[in-house]
Amino acid sequence: MWYEASLSEAPLQMADTTVRSETSESDYNADSITVLKGLEGVRKRPGMYIGDTDDGTGLHHMVYEVVDNAVDEHLAGHCDHIDVTIHIDDSVTVSDNGRGIPVDMHPTEKVPAAQIVMTALHAGAKFSQDSYKVSGGLHGVGVSAVNALSDWLKLEIRRDGKVYYQEYERGAPATEFKAIGVTDRRGGTKITFHPDSTIFKNVTQFSYEQLSQKLRELAYLNSGLTIAIRDERTDRHQEFLFAGGIASFVADLNTNKTVINSEVIAFSDVRDGITVDIAMQWNDGYSEQVTCFTNTIKNRDGGTHLTGFRQALTRSCNTYATNTKLLKDSLGGEDLREGLIAVISVKVPDPKYSNQAKDKLVSSEVATAVSAVVTEKLQQYLERHPKDAKQIIGKASLAAKAREAARKAREMVQRKGALEMTSLPGKLADCQERDPSKCELFIVEGESAGGSAKQGRDRAFQAILPLRGKILNVEKARFDKMLASQEIATLITALGTSVGDEKDFDKLRYHRIIVMTDADVDGSHIRTLLLTFFFRHFNELFERGHIYIAQPPLYKIKKGKTELYLKNEQALEDYLLAAVCHDTRVVGQRGGVEATITGDELAAFIRLVNQSRKMRLQLDKHGDGRVSGAFAEVGLKPDDLRDQAKLEDAIVRVKAELTARHGELGGLEFELRQDPEHGTWTARAPSGLYGVRRETIISFEVASSPEYHELRRFMSDLRKALEGPFRVIAKGDADDGGATAGSADEVAIIVEELGRKGLQIQRYKGLGEMNAEQLWETTMDPEQRNLLQVRVDDVVEADQIFTVLMGDLVEPRREFIEDNALNVRNLDV
Amino acid sequence: MTATSRSQLKCPTCRGPVEAAAGRRTKVFPFCSSRCQLIDLGRWIDEEFRISEPADQAGGGAESVNPGGDRE
């Protein structure tokens, strides 16, 4: 602000200095003595004017003060280049290509205007020190303060083709101000000063980093202005020129970050004489970085411009999100500011600050102006860039969720943290052992099963946590099963590791965590939920092999006084067959000769029959499974369909087979057609006639299906093993006696009936049907039980399973559960 | 389940990519960040994770409606 003390200069273009220059004329005229006293004051109390003289703050402010005056020349439209040079003796030169300080004579003072600028502490005499603190502060005290605090200063001015020169010592002129030469270069001011070492202590050397950082900021704030810095002590140098202004600033701050909105949002407007410049861009980080400037001075603690910006940001984004129905709930300001990099620069005629370091702007009218500009411009931007807007709102809503989740998690952890070990959840029946590697935790579905488990367990090392799934009926249309949040809290407490950032697996209280649920659909759902929860929040448990699934039996067999538990259908079938097949013989034909099978051979035969029965059920999806099954049984191959004669031959045998087995059904008639797509014939039996359940078409497609192929293979194996007619000779029957059977199916039925004779078979529907003793014997006793360790080696596969299970779409999830999840083997990969 | 390449691993919360080189899982696995893991935990606490089935299949009808409470 070279011209503040200038008496003859026309009103300045820069708004803030205009205000002052109007009053300065009479003030400086009136009392120049106090002005000089002011400079003495600067040397007496330098901290008041330039900042701390001990820690380097004041030292560097000396440079900023001079540079700021040059920047004002730029703002006035007369300067586009500033050079800052640090010399080897820690003196500094600041030169600009502005108009040069006025050199004309002061009418009353009888000294050149430039000398007044250098020696008069502008307005210093006028205001009390209290008001100085607010309005003046470090900057704007004028270059005279720098002069006063320098042991020497050299001033060189180019103006109107002449070069003027003067030297000062500690603020007082040491030489006369005079023209020393001529120049054809444009105007400019060059000041070289050396900070007075009797004033600045401790830190006496300029920091290149500190200066270049500040100059870089100034270059951002003044687009089109080149600021060059050179350090002659090290020969480091840089030149700053940012055509993009503060938008470049924001873009540079986001270098190497993943940005949310691809282009920096930048806008600028004037409200009530206040110029508002804002640039902003979100990155995917979590921290907010908003840098505020007033008249190019950084306000470390923000202030009213920041307040206005924040209010408008929150309001604009929420308005937009509501109007576009992106969100139901409104977003909090802090959520919207997560990952936000912004620069706010305001130009205010008469700014007020909370302290003299200008750390915080307090001019209330600035909040209004900034808020108005942001509201208008940001709203416009969002409406014109819906894609970016969606990204920004999406990020903020994630932030809101995370904040809320963090709060809940903290509450949950704290609630239990206060209680710790002494008050484990009331539902937990803990074990006596304290060595985690020996301890087992049974997570048991249902209260009653939990009760049995508590009674049946070995309390020395087995803990029981009963858990019940919560079920809600939603809109009367569906049932939603979930883990109640209370159950989740209980679970986390029981595990002892805590959750989230505080998670510590060394505190795990049990090294075997055994999920014990009913063998029904509800049970498998609870188990899925539990495993998913563990997978997502205690993944290490899987990695360390701590997760197990109990395998309660599905059947109890009682024969006389012996009892036996069997875990599933397959085990039951195996058991039934093993016992009966040793005492039973089946007589049939093999290659036209009478043959007998018994023992393992008979068991294998019965299994084949059962498998073929299942395949025939599968064939039902292609019409009447009995009919298509018969074609498989007579051995019709897909290729046979190319030959009409072979198909007709097969039909004859099929009819005979169906007559033998199902009577009337054998009377059905087939309509033959050609299938040009496959070059084959198809046989079609219409629905309804002769008891055909559904229209059945034997096509190339059906004959090539896996179920048809499998059935054909089973039937072929069966025929190789034994062909009818059969006789089933049970234990105690005469060799030529026994029951006769026409088909292999009948043989299987007779044999299985024999197997069940004298047995009491009980099917457990739930854990609750077992008493404590049974539960211990079958499922909990380490000597007898059968635990399935859940390993998730293929993390991608596991993730997919769980993601589909827990996804948002109900339908695919349901299908998926039916197809996969009930089968724990999928997790046990 | 078809075999899938590791590159397909997605964060359950944000669907972004998850780092999981063979045999090495991050502390926040299967999530991309502790932020996303936290959000997920919040959803468990809010009981948002549910397995649904039509009312007729669950063995209960519209009569057994007990919104907000447990079904015995």
What is d(CA A312, CA A308) in angstroms, rounded to the nearest whole number?
Answer: 6
- pLDDT tens-digit series, residues A585-613: 999 999 889 999 999 999 999 999 988 88
Q: Quote the pLDDT of residue A109.
A: 72
User: According to the 3-state scheme, what is the secondary structure of A169-207?
Assistant: ECCEECCCCEEEEECCCCCEEEEEEEECCCCCCCCCCCC
Average pLDDT over residues A86-112: 89
Q: Choose among B37, B42, B54: nearest Cβ to A401.
A: B42
Of A394, A403, A162, the residue nearest A260 (C-alpha): A394
Asked if A539 lies within 8 A of B5 by C-beta distance, the reply is no
pLDDT beyond 80 at A297: yes
Other C-beta atoms within 10 Å of A432: how many? 11
Kindly calculate the radius of gyration of chain A based on its CA atoms and give it in whole angstroms.
46
State how far the Cα of A636 lies from the Cα of A639, in Å rounded to an integer: 8
A501 vs B34, B49, B51: nearest CB: B34
Beta strands in A75-127 (DSSP E): 81-86, 92-96
pLDDT band at A553 (very low <50, low <70, confident <90, very high): confident
Average pLDDT of span A275-282: 95
Which distant-in-sequence residues (6+ apart) come within 8 Å of A173 by Cβ? Answer: A115, A118, A119, A166, A167
Residue of A nearest to B9 (CA): A796
Taking the C-alpha atoms of residue A464 and residue A396, their distance in angstroms, rounded to an integer, is 42
Q: What is the pLDDT of residue A532?
A: 84
**In the predicted model, is pLDDT for residue B2 greater than 70?**
no
Q: What is the pLDDT of residues B14-58, one digit of tens each?
A: 777 776 555 566 788 888 888 888 888 888 888 888 877 776 654
Selected residue with higher pLDDT from A53 and A3: A53
Which residues of chain B make contact with A412, given a CB cutoff of 8 A? 45
The per-residue pLDDT for B4 is: 41
Taking the C-alpha atoms of residue A469 and residue A484, their distance in angstroms, rounded to an integer, is 7
| CB-facing half-sphere around the CA of A125: CA atoms within 13 A | 20
Q: Which of A287, A338, A401 to mutate to test the interface with B (most CBs of B within 10 A)?
A: A401
Closest CA to A135 of A363, A370, A307, A369: A363
- Summarize the confidence of residues A234-249 as an average pLDDT: 93
Q: Does residue A404 have a pLDDT over 90?
A: no
A803–B12: do the CB atoms touch at under 8 Å? Answer: yes
Query: B25 CB near a chain A CB, below 8 Å?
Result: yes
Token reading at A781: 């006793």
Can you give the pLDDT at residue A425?
A: 67
Measure Cα distances from A45 to A104, A170, A411, A522 in Å: 32, 14, 53, 81
pLDDT higher for A668 or A305? A305
Most confidently modeled of A90-104, A652-666, A736-750, B8-22? A90-104
Asked if A616 contacts A711 with a C-beta cutoff of 8 angstroms, the reply is yes
Measured between CA atoms, how close is A482 to chain B, in angstroms?
A: 5
pLDDT of residue A473: 81
- In the predicted model, is pLDDT for residue A282 greater than 80? yes
Cβ–Cβ gap B44/A499 under 8 Å:
no
Given a cut of 50, is residue A754 above it in pLDDT? yes
Mutate to test the interface with B, among A415, A536, A815 (most CBs of B within 10 A): A536
Give how far B16 is from chain A: nearest CA, Å: 12
d(CA A654, CA A667): 10
pLDDT in tens, A519-531: 777 787 888 888 8
Question: Which of A488-492, A607-611, A642-646, A713-717 is the least confident region?
Answer: A488-492
Helix (DSSP H) and strand (DSSP E) numbers for chain B: 1, 1
Statement: residue A33 has pLDDT above 90? no
Residue that is written with structure tokens 């059947």 in the block: A555
- A806–B49 C-beta distance less than 8 A: yes
A525 touches chain B (CB under 8 A): yes
Q: From chain B, pick out residues whose CB is under 8 angstroms from the CB of A478.
A: 52-55, 58
pLDDT tens figures, A454-476:
999 999 999 999 988 888 887 77
Instruction: Tell me what ipTM this predicted complex has.
Output: 0.77
Q: Are B35 and A287 in contact (CB under 8 A)?
A: no
Chain B residue with Cα closest to A810 = B52
What b/e sequence results for A61-89 when a residue is b if at least 16 CB atoms lie within 10 Å of its CB, and e otherwise?
bbbbbbbbbbbbbbbbebbebbbbbbeee
When mean pLDDT is compared over A496-500, A539-543, A680-684, A817-821, the highest value belongs to A680-684
In this prediction the pTM is 0.58
Active site residues of A: 65
- Report CA torsion sign: A137, A140, A146, A148: negative
A:272-311 residues touching chain B, CB 8 A cutoff? 286
* Residue among B18, B44, B52 minimizing CB distance to A479: B52
Other CB atoms within 10 A of residue A111 CB: 15
Residue A547 contacts B, CB cutoff 8 Å? no
pLDDT at residue number A818 = 43
Q: Three-state SS for A337? A: coil
pLDDT in tens, A715-753: 999 989 998 889 999 888 888 888 888 888 889 999 988
What pLDDT is stored for residue A827 in this prediction? 35
Which of residues B25 and A352 earns the better pLDDT score? Answer: A352
pLDDT over 90 percentage in chain A: 41
Beta-bridge partners for A807: none
Confidence check: pLDDT of A675 > 60: yes
Contact status of B7 with chain A (Cβ, < 8 Å): no
| Per-residue confidence (pLDDT) for residue A811, from 0 to 100 | 44
Give the pLDDT of residue A793: 60
Alpha helices in A222-340 (DSSP H): 246-253, 304-323, 333-336
With CA atoms as reference, report the closest residue to A314 among A395, A258, A364, A371.
A371
Contacts 24+ apart (CB under 8 A), B57-61: B58/A471, B58/A478, B58/A479, B60/A473, B60/A479
Q: Would you call B55 and A473 a contact, using CB atoms and an 8 Å cutoff?
A: yes
Query: Looking at beta carbons, which residues of chain A come within 8 Å of B6?
Result: 796
Inform me whether the C-beta atom of residue A827 falls under 8 Å from chain B C-beta atoms: no
Task: State whether residue A470 sits within 8 Å of chain B by CB.
Answer: yes
Nearest to A500 among B41, B66, B67 (CB): B41
Report how far residue A222's alpha carbon sits from residue A586's, in angstroms, rounded to the nearest whole number.
102
